[in-house]
Amino acid sequence: MLYHDDVPRVVLADNQPIARYGIRKLLESHNDARVVAEASSLADLLEILESMSHDVILANFAILDAHGGRGLDRVKRLRKAYPSSSMVLMVGIRNAGLLGAIMQTGVSGLIERNTNVPELRVAVRTAGKGKKYVSRRFQRALHSKWGEANDPNFEAHCLKLWSCQGHVSMWQEHESW
């Protein structure tokens, strides 16, 4: 990871201007990160990622899932194209199957779209250090699918999901974004 003044450089992708504004102000006012660029669409995001140095991609999953619902495939492709970038996804759905599949792509962080301020800050800082973060609500959703409340193997299940890397099939390689 590259750092500027020990603060990760973030590319922020969200389709809502007020959300981008608020997230930028929040992260920068607390010195958690420096937002180097903002994207309002997948096309903007791809252009920015090609041209700007960054450490963390903080994206609303809805941008990646728009126009055909191929969000998971797009996450996989972004992970493959930018393996040295940490990626934190803000997701508005609490479906354990989807969350588990997203985790398998190798993202660094997974938080709710409507997460609280401290959790957003922790997720970005954690990803900026090259570590993994899953919000508490998503941990509970995953826990309900893959582990019992007192299951000593639950953490191992989560680590197994994190260690798996999503692979893009050959036909997907030739498909447009």
Looking at residue 78, what DSSP letter applies?
H
Question: Which value, in Å, is the radius of gyration of the alpha carbons in the chain?
Answer: 16
pLDDT in tens, 108-158: 999 999 999 999 999 999 999 999 999 988 888 887 765 544 455 555 555
pLDDT tens digits, 86-108: 999 999 988 888 898 999 999 99
Give every CB contact of residue 109 below 8 A, 6+ residues apart in sequence.
86, 87, 88, 89, 123, 124, 126, 127, 132, 133, 134
pLDDT, one tens digit per residue, over 156-170 is 555 555 444 432 222
Comparing CA positions, the residue from 177, 161, 10 lying closest to residue 88 is 10
Distance (Å, rounded) from C-alpha 119 to C-alpha 112?
9
| pLDDT score, position 167 | 29
The single residue listed with the structure tokens 């997948």 is 42
- Predicted local distance difference test score (pLDDT) of residue 66: 83
* Cβ partners under 8 Å of residue 150, min gap 6: none
Q: Which domains does the chain have, with CATH numbers?
A: 3-173 (3.40.50.2300)
β-pair type (7-13, 3-4)? antiparallel
Q: What is the pLDDT of residues 63-89, one digit of tens each?
A: 998 877 789 999 999 999 999 999 999
pLDDT digits (tens, 9 = 90+) for 22-68: 999 999 999 999 999 999 999 999 999 999 999 999 999 999 988 77
Range list of β-strands (E), the chain: 3-4, 7-13, 34-39, 56-60, 86-91, 109-112, 133-134
**Rounded CA gap, 169 and 122, in Å?**
33
